[in-house]
Amino acid sequence: MARMYVLLTAALVITAPAGAQGAVSGRVAMQEKPGEPTKDFDATVVYLMPKGAPGRFAETKTQMAMNGRQFAPRVRVVTTGSTVEYTNQDPFSHNIFSTAPGAAFDLGTYGSGMTKSTPFKKAGAYPVYCNIHAQMTAFVVVVSTSHYTQAGADARWKMANVPAGKWELHVWHERAPEITQDLDVPAAGLANVDVTLDARGFKQVAHKDKMGKDYSANGVRY
């Protein structure tokens, strides 16, 4: 009987830390070209990948609207296998597409009030465009983990309920190379996880239409 008590106590000591969860938080800094302030901290995606085991996550359905010839939001983060719905809130048509390897799609031209959708089955960061409006660009960042967030306008971010253990931190922004960093998260969580991205080499390049050609200056513009 005494031996059974010792074994049970040992089991509790081993398993308790595995269930411990805390918050992980930090701040993003951005190196810019001289004189250029950072205005898009909220486009930063931060996520945690578990070390040594596949992540657990659920597939979801979320929206990215077209409004005022822009995507809203410009950046959307989803889990692998999730579906993004594109709702046209403008009084004219759009044709949403991507030619990115692993996530190519073409929703065709559709009018105001209509919604079309597409799944994203592979992890990665994918640009999305409109074949009618050359200025429209968005990004869908697909992650194989349930632990993700986006920074706020103040550059700060926070993820709650992160289990204690070893993780790999990923920080993505469209204007800077992605950063990865190993983290050892204790049961109480981890604060002040600050990272600096380098956007000094970013150059804005006009994208092509869905046929791989330049947008026509004489095409439909509304």
- Contact criterion met (CB below 8 Å) for 193 and 215: no
> 161 and 101 in one domain?
no
> At 62, which CATH number?
2.60.40.420
Compute the distance between CA of residue 4 and CA of residue 10 in angstroms, rounded to an integer: 10
Q: Please indicate, yes or no, if residue 125 is contained in any of the structural domains.
A: yes
Q: What is the pLDDT of residue 8?
A: 26
This prediction has a pTM of 0.88
Nearest to 30 by CA among 200, 202, 204, 198: 198
Residue with tokens 């469209």: 174
Which residue spans within 91-191 are E strands per DSSP? 94-98, 105-110, 115-119, 124-130, 137-143, 148-150, 156-163, 165-173, 176-185, 189-190
> What is the count of structural domains for the chain?
2
Domain limits for position 125:
57-144
> 134 and 165 in one domain?
no
> 73 and 138 in one domain?
yes
Q: Which amino acid is at 146?
A: S
> 62 and 118 in one domain?
yes
Tens-of-pLDDT digits for all 222 residues of the chain?
A: 333 333 222 222 323 344 678 999 999 999 999 999 999 999 999 999 999 877 789 999 999 999 999 999 999 999 999 999 999 999 999 999 999 999 999 999 999 999 999 999 999 999 999 999 999 999 999 999 999 999 999 999 999 999 999 999 999 999 999 999 999 999 999 999 999 999 999 999 999 999 999 998 765 556
Q: Please indicate, yes or no, if residue 3 is contained in any of the structural domains.
A: no
Q: Please indicate, yes or no, if residue 215 is contained in any of the structural domains.
A: no
Q: What is the pLDDT of residue 217?
A: 73
> 132 and 162 in one domain?
no
pLDDT tens for each residue of 66-88: 999 999 999 999 999 999 999 99
> 126 and 72 in one domain?
yes
> 123 and 70 in one domain?
yes
Of the three residues 103, 122, 144, the one that is the final residue of a domain is 144
174 alpha carbon, distance to own chain's centre: 10
Kindly report the average pLDDT of the chain as a whole number.
90
> Residue 132, Cβ neighbours under 10 Å: how many?
19
Rounded to a whole number, what is the distance in angstroms from the first to the last CA of the chain? Answer: 81
- Contact criterion met (CB below 8 Å) for 103 and 140: yes
